[in-house]
Amino acid sequence: MLSLNVLSYAADFFPYKIRGRAMAWIVSSYFAALIFGVPIGAWIGDKLGWNAVFRVAALTAILLFLWTRWLLAEPFVPAVSDRHTGLQIVKPFKNYVDFLKTKRTFGALLSSFFASGGTIGFLAFLGIWLHDAFGIAGRQIGLVFLASGTAALLASPIAGLLSDRIGKRFQFILSNAALALLLLILPGLRWGHWLFLVFGAVSLAAAFRQGPMEALLTEVAPPAVRGSFVALKNSFSQLGIGLAAMASGILFERDGYLAVCLLCAASNLVAAGSMAVLVRERHL
């Protein structure tokens, strides 16, 4: 629900022509939370006990509530004549059906499904592959993720600025194609600087895709039903993640990490193709 409302609020508050950079900063905050939040939580747990981590998280949530309540401006949302009239149980489901029947919203949902699955599928088994293939210790594997996450954190704001200039749809398609190519290269590498470079490029491709994708997906549905569409988009994204993780697990046990990367590369290409074929509006 937090993710849904953050994206919907940003879409209502920022015009589409600068929404790419706004969404990129939001994506950067997600990377920052992973890079800094996990070690900070581990340090708090070591010093004060595991239950202190939950107390700190609760305090952070209270501060976030106060910040949201008093410091965030109310965005302008076009009025809807029947918003407070009639039966409100059936209408949201009708909106969901309309999203699935409309070409551009259905294409955006498919892109979200395959893009999310194509990212999480290979990430879920990367650490296991590094350990099994090269005998890498957990600390070294953590350095790989730290380096790539830092690269993505720094690249996301640049990606947002670029997408506002060249077009969010074009950048999404190009980044997905680059990500698919890099995933085909990754499993053939040996441990060393080339593996670090390629995995860093994978993170950059994902970062250059994510902000423009969120900005674009909040534009394909009318503002009055944007929250419903973002909610459905999140459901498609989570479903893609779950199915990709399950399929990747089966492939990893049977055929190895190369098969996982082939699946995820194909998934990213389908995400790019769905956006290119079904979401055709030039201004996007």
Residue 236 lies in a domain: yes
- 63-82: pLDDT as tens digits: 988 888 888 777 666 555 44
Distance between CA atoms of residues 116 and 16, nearest Å: 23
Total domains in the chain come to: 1
Domain with 224, as residue range(s), is 2-78+89-278
Task: Supply 90's token pair.
Answer: 């059936």
Identity of the highest mean pLDDT range in 1-10, 120-129, 204-213, 232-241: 232-241
140 is a domain residue = yes
Task: Please state, as a whole number, how many other Cβ atoms lie within 10 Å of the Cβ of residue 213.
Answer: 29
Average pLDDT over residues 263-283: 89
At 183 the pLDDT is: 92
For the residues 128-143, what does the mean pLDDT come to? 77
**What pLDDT shows up at residue 85?**
46
Q: Is the pLDDT of residue 211 over 60?
A: yes
In a domain, 51, yes or no: yes
Span 218-239, pLDDT tens digits: 888 888 888 888 889 889 999 9
Confidence of residue 97 (pLDDT cuts 50, 70, 90): confident
74, exposed or middle or buried, with CB in 10 Å at 0-12, 13-18, 19+? exposed
Residue of 168, 207, 201 lying closest to 186 (CA atoms) = 201
Residue 83, domain member (yes or no): no
Cβ neighbours of residue 175 under 8 Å, at least 6 residues apart? 205, 206, 208, 209, 212
Determine phi and psi for 135, rounding to 5 degrees.
Answer: 65, 35
Q: Determine the pLDDT at residue 86.
A: 47
Position 88 pLDDT exceeds 70: no
pLDDT digits (tens, 9 = 90+) for 7-40: 888 888 888 888 888 888 887 887 777 677 767 7
Following CA atoms 126, 130, 132, 138 in sequence, which dihedral angle do they give, to the nearest 10 degrees?
Answer: -100
Average pLDDT rounded to a whole number, residues 160-182:
90
From CA 108, how far away is CA 15, in angstroms rounded? 19
Q: Quick one: pLDDT at residue 241?
A: 92
Mean pLDDT of the chain: 83
pTM of the model: 0.79
In a domain, 284, yes or no: no
The pLDDT score that the predictor gives to residue 194 is 87
